[in-house]
Amino acid sequence: MNYEGRKYVLIAGILFISFVFILRLFWIQVVDGKWKAEAANMAERKVTVYPSRGLIYDRKERLLVANTPVYDLMVVPKEVKAFDTAAFCKLINVPQEIFSQRLTEANAYSKHKPSIIEKQIPADQYAAISVHLHKYPGFFGQSRTLRTYPHHTAAHLLGYLSEVNARKVEEDPYYRAGDVIGVGGLEQYYEKEMRGRRGVSYVLVDVHNNQKGSFKDGLYDTLAVEGQDLFTGIDLDMQRLGEQLMVNKKGSIVAIDPKTGEILCLVSSPTYDPELLVGRVRNTNYGILQRDPIKPLFDRALQAQYPPGSIYKIVQSLIALDEGVIDVNTGFPCQKSLVGCHNHPMAGDIIHAIQYSCNPYFYQVFKRIIEQDKDPSRFKDAALGLAEWHKYMLTFGLGQRLPIDLPSAKSGNIPDVAYYDRKYGKEGWAFSTIYSVSIGQGEVLVAPLQMANLAAIFANKGWYYDPHVVRAVGHPDSLQRKYQKKHLTGVDPKWYDHIQEGMRRVVEEPGGTARGARIKDITVCGKTGTAENPHGQDHAVFVCFAPMENPRIAMAVYVENSGFGGTWAAPIASLLMEQYLTDTITRPEVVQRMLEADLIAKEATFVKKPKPKRNRR
């Protein structure tokens, strides 16, 4: 066969096909202008796909925090053509000088990368803007979500979102300028769990900003991963009632399920509507809240540190019993020359001392703890006694930050030997110097969260789980194991029966200081406290748990500048416990009295009477 002839035929065929392709390319690129125009009108755009942030639920899986769609108006400076600036600024409702500044900053950042011109435009407003964007090449909308609060409650507990700062962008490669991050509350503590992971989509757009489909059918796209939901122990009904009862009052409420350590209710008052810190009005509203003299941004439940007052006597009792310096039948006379007290029958045992809240009784109790004659020097002896006392206090979660899943919780202050050595000099102090600690005054400071945890310890007869808000992440059944470790106090559990009986008498028996906390058919155990306030009327505190036989709730209520603990703090706690345990309120007149009370207004007109100084003994 003649293969030489076939070779030339094959070569000729290849040359012919190549000529056809070259001719076609010449026609498309040089002769026919429509293809050149179409290529010029098509551009590839990288669009960030923001994930949906995790939602937050209460203990009954009712939404506390949800997401709502918003849009950021973006610009790619290289694609911008001449346009009517005044009309565009009117369309997006941004002053021309601010718009010009942002456009200049976008050019300085990158001519090819998108920058934000206006952020967080609500969906309804963006709908009116988007129909006109084809007139303005280079501008486009990018969807994302903002938080919304269906019940307008628990602002301090939940936190809010804010734009990430430059320092955070440098420290964490995940974030970019314009991203949002959780600030305060659960939003900050669970930021990594709730933020999810962003994705990227490459799309083709024409000169009119119309999308023409995915680039290469989405070959290079990455999917966004949604953030994980949080399932909390918060009871929404109780939280809302607590905030209502604390209106026009300064203070806090913390309620705990003693069996699990879950926070049932966390109120800081004054508070604010969390919706105020959402969207484009956030900065303006934040400034207003920050300048408010009653400090609504301050989280009193976690960050305020107060003298605990008489509730501290319960802990003193337990330590003294465990140390053997008193027994349950020890009695002391109410000798007011030692320390001031109200009128009451003599406390002939520890149960009645708690019921009557006798100050001189606990003066003597603390003295026996501190002065145990372990050293002939009363100064060294006091140091030895205080060192042992301090060890006990730490086992009750005092003097240290409780590991709650919220940022900024304070540790309070439980003075130790080193503290007093710094203050008075080594061997420069004795019991007579520090006796005010016996009744929860002096240098002792406790945060309301720690007070509620004490109530849980009393309910459990000597143990507690770390208080926490979120019981599960991602799924209602995925409980957090780190909060399932039981902590024991250093006190023998046998002493708690006597303490509980004393606390029961405070509420249920004549002569008790919290009779206003009684609930029909429910045995409440509690202890009032009145903490001295050098700047105004004394602060009131009440710690409690119920039912006595099988405690389901432990609580601390602290009301600033309100006087005696049984007047305001105890009734508020009682109403909240009744609502939680029975799902109803049977004393509307008490609710009304709490709602009508404006203690903040009274604070402004209160004139404190000077108290006579007492000699140290």
Strand partners, 528: 542
pLDDT of res. 567: 86
pTM, rounded to two decimals: 0.84
Q: Do 261 and 228 share a domain, yes or no?
A: no
Q: Which residue has the higher pLDDT, 79 or 33?
A: 79
Cβ proximity of 447 and 302 under 8 Å: yes
How far apart are alpha carbons 531 and 537 in whole angstroms? 9
How far apart are alpha carbons 402 and 465 in whole angstroms? 10
Cβ proximity of 569 and 528 under 8 Å: yes
Q: Specify if 15 maps to a domain.
A: no
How far apart are alpha carbons 544 and 72 in whole angstroms? 49
pLDDT tens digits for range 483-506: 999 999 989 999 999 999 999 999
Which residues, in sequence order, are CB contacts of 444 under 8 Å at separation 6+? 307, 308, 312, 412, 413, 414, 415, 437
Q: Do 579 and 504 share a domain, yes or no?
A: yes
Domain count of the chain? 2
Q: Do 165 and 272 share a domain, yes or no?
A: no
Q: Model confidence at 30, in pLDDT bands (50, 70, 90)? A: low
Q: What percent of the chain has pLDDT over 70?
A: 90
What's the rounded mean pLDDT across residues 586-606?
A: 89
pLDDT of res. 179: 84
Q: Specify if 168 maps to a domain.
A: yes
Q: Do 371 and 314 share a domain, yes or no?
A: yes
H and E: helices and strands count for the chain: 23, 18
Q: Specify if 301 maps to a domain.
A: yes
Mean per-residue pLDDT over the chain, rounded:
88
The CATH number of the domain holding residue 65 is 3.90.1310.10
As a whole number of Å, the end-to-end CA separation of the chain is 130
**DSSP letter (8 states) at residue 548:** S
Q: Which residue has the higher pLDDT, 344 or 418?
A: 418
Q: Do 172 and 265 share a domain, yes or no?
A: no
pLDDT of res. 43: 59
Query: In this structure, is the dihedral angle defined by the CA atoms of residues 293, 297, 302 and 303, taken in order, positive or negative?
Result: negative
How far apart are alpha carbons 480 and 458 in whole angstroms? 24
**CB-based burial of residue 25 (10 Å sphere; 0-12 exposed, 13-18 middle, 19+ buried)?**
exposed
pLDDT of res. 40: 41
What length is written for the chain? 617
Task: Please check the confidence at residue 41 and state whether its pLDDT lies above 50.
Answer: no
Least confident piece of the model among 3-7, 322-326, 345-349, 572-576: 3-7
Q: Do 225 and 279 share a domain, yes or no?
A: no
- Residue identified by tokens 């440098």 is 170
The kind and range of the H/E element at 106 are helix 96-109
Q: How far is CA 222 from CA 24, 54, 422, in A?
A: 37, 19, 60
pLDDT of res. 409: 94
Task: Please check the confidence at residue 613 and state whether its pLDDT lies above 60.
Answer: no
Least confident piece of the model among 112-121, 208-217, 454-463: 208-217
Q: Specify if 616 maps to a domain.
A: no
pLDDT of res. 18: 78
What's the rounded mean pLDDT across residues 195-220?
A: 68
Q: Specify if 368 maps to a domain.
A: yes
pLDDT of res. 48: 73
Task: Please check the confidence at residue 535 and state whether its pLDDT lies above 60.
Answer: yes
Q: Do 194 and 264 share a domain, yes or no?
A: no
The kind and range of the H/E element at 7 are helix 3-26
Please tell me whether residue 389 adopts helix, strand or coil conformation: helix
Q: How far is CA 427 from CA 97, 215, 431, in A?
A: 69, 79, 11
pLDDT tens digits for range 149-176: 999 999 999 999 988 888 888 888 888 8
How far apart are alpha carbons 67 and 363 in whole angstroms? 55
Task: Please check the confidence at residue 29 and state whether its pLDDT lies above 80.
Answer: no
Q: Do 280 and 221 share a domain, yes or no?
A: no
Q: Do 289 and 144 share a domain, yes or no?
A: no
Q: Specify if 92 maps to a domain.
A: no
Q: Do 344 and 448 share a domain, yes or no?
A: yes
How far apart are alpha carbons 106 and 74 in whole angstroms? 10
Q: Model confidence at 211, in pLDDT bands (50, 70, 90)? A: low
DSSP H helices, 342-430, are 350-356, 359-370, 378-395, 417-424
How far apart are alpha carbons 69 and 66 in whole angstroms? 10
Edge-first strand order for the sheet with 199-205 is: 43-49, 199-205, 211-214
pLDDT tens digits for range 221-255: 777 789 999 999 999 999 999 999 999 999 999 99
Q: Specify if 181 maps to a domain.
A: yes
pLDDT of res. 215: 61
Please tell me whether residue 369 adopts helix, strand or coil conformation: helix
The CATH number of the domain holding residue 364 is 3.40.710.10
How far apart are alpha carbons 452 and 269 in whole angstroms? 16
Task: Please check the confidence at residue 264 and state whether its pLDDT lies above 90.
Answer: yes
Q: Specify if 525 maps to a domain.
A: yes
Q: Model confidence at 31, in pLDDT bands (50, 70, 90)? A: low
pLDDT of res. 604: 74
Q: What is the dihedral of CA 154, 158, 162, 166, to 10 degrees?
A: 140
How far apart are alpha carbons 170 and 201 in whole angstroms? 25
How far apart are alpha carbons 61 and 230 in whole angstroms? 10
pLDDT tens digits for range 266-321: 999 999 999 999 887 888 999 999 999 999 999 999 999 999 999 999 999 999 99
pLDDT of res. 562: 80
- Structural domain of residue 157, as residue ranges? 45-76+115-232
Residue type, 205: V
Please tell me whether residue 533 adopts helix, strand or coil conformation: coil
pLDDT of res. 617: 35
pLDDT of res. 430: 94
Q: Do 219 and 294 share a domain, yes or no?
A: no
Task: Please check the confidence at residue 616 and state whether its pLDDT lies above 70.
Answer: no
Q: Do 209 and 305 share a domain, yes or no?
A: no
Which residues, in sequence order, are CB contacts of 351 under 8 Å at separation 6+? 328, 498, 501, 502, 505
pLDDT of res. 462: 95
